[in-house]
A and B are shown apart, each in its own frame.
Chain A
Amino acid sequence: SQKIEQNSEALNIQEGKTATLTCNYTNYSPAYLQWYRQDPGRGPVFLLLIRENEKEKRKERLKVTFDTTLKQSLFHITASQPADSATYLCALDTIYGQNFVFGPGTRLSVLP
């Protein structure tokens, strides 16, 4: 069956460290993968998009990798700050009648 999983429901890290979030998928062949940030009671906000032929994408302190062999994307936040605390969602495209399918999200807490 098709599945999209994010490494853990919650992740706690110390301020200044690098946070690494994982998105794994099964029985999809996405051409694109996106990452969003969602704060409590708010809608998701788009962060980054990576294509299947791109290994890595960067934006300021954010870095995304996409490994179609491992069927995995990693999302890194370097020099993390308490303001980075939020839920992070991955989303990938699918040919099965949907535009996107979203993972359940990982709730990141950056501790001062």
Chain B
Amino acid sequence: DGGITQSPKYLFRKEGQNVTLSCEQNLNHDAMYWYRQDPGQGLRLIYYSQIVNDFQKGDIAEGYSVSREKKESFPLTVTSAQKNPTAFYLCASSIQDSINQPQHFGDGTRLSIL
């Protein structure tokens, strides 16, 4: 069954610590995305990647980093520079980075601060 797998489902970060959220897809999609969701707000784009070894900043990239070494994997690192990291993080993919393509989402990682 094809889909997007995010892990872990829950993650806790200590002050000054970097944490990495995993996102894997077996849909053979070219484009992948990371969003942050806060209560009462829409999804906000952190980073996106149209192709392996290439990625672009979204609206709220500060304090985050990504890599795209393999087509199926797009991990997100929340660095200590991100001062308000508590949120629900969603990874998505689409066939291509085209505005007329639906996005397929994982079930998210909820990050909290210890």
- Chain A interfacial positions (CB closer than 8 Å to B): 4, 9, 31-32, 34, 41-46, 49, 51, 89, 91, 93, 97-105
Contacts and interface: CB of A to CB of B under 8 A. Distances in A.
A93 B102 CA distance: 11
Contact of B90 (A32, A44, A91, A104): A44
A91 B103 CA distance: 11
Interface stretch (B11-19, B38-46, B66-74, B75-83): B38-46
B42 A34 contact: no
Given A98-B45, A98-B59, A105-B42, A41 B99 contact: no
A89 B35 CA distance: 14
B103 A100 contact: yes
A20 B104 CA distance: 24
B104 A46 contact: yes
B106 interface: yes
Contacts of A34: 102
A43 B107 contact: yes
A103 B42 contact: yes
Contacts, number: 57
B100 to A, nearest CB: 5
B8 interface: no
B42 A44 contact: no
B45 A49 contact: no
A45 B58 CA distance: 21
B92 interface: yes
Contacts of A103: 42
User: Which of A32, A34, A46, A99: most chain B CB closer than 10 A?
Assistant: A99
A43 B97 contact: no
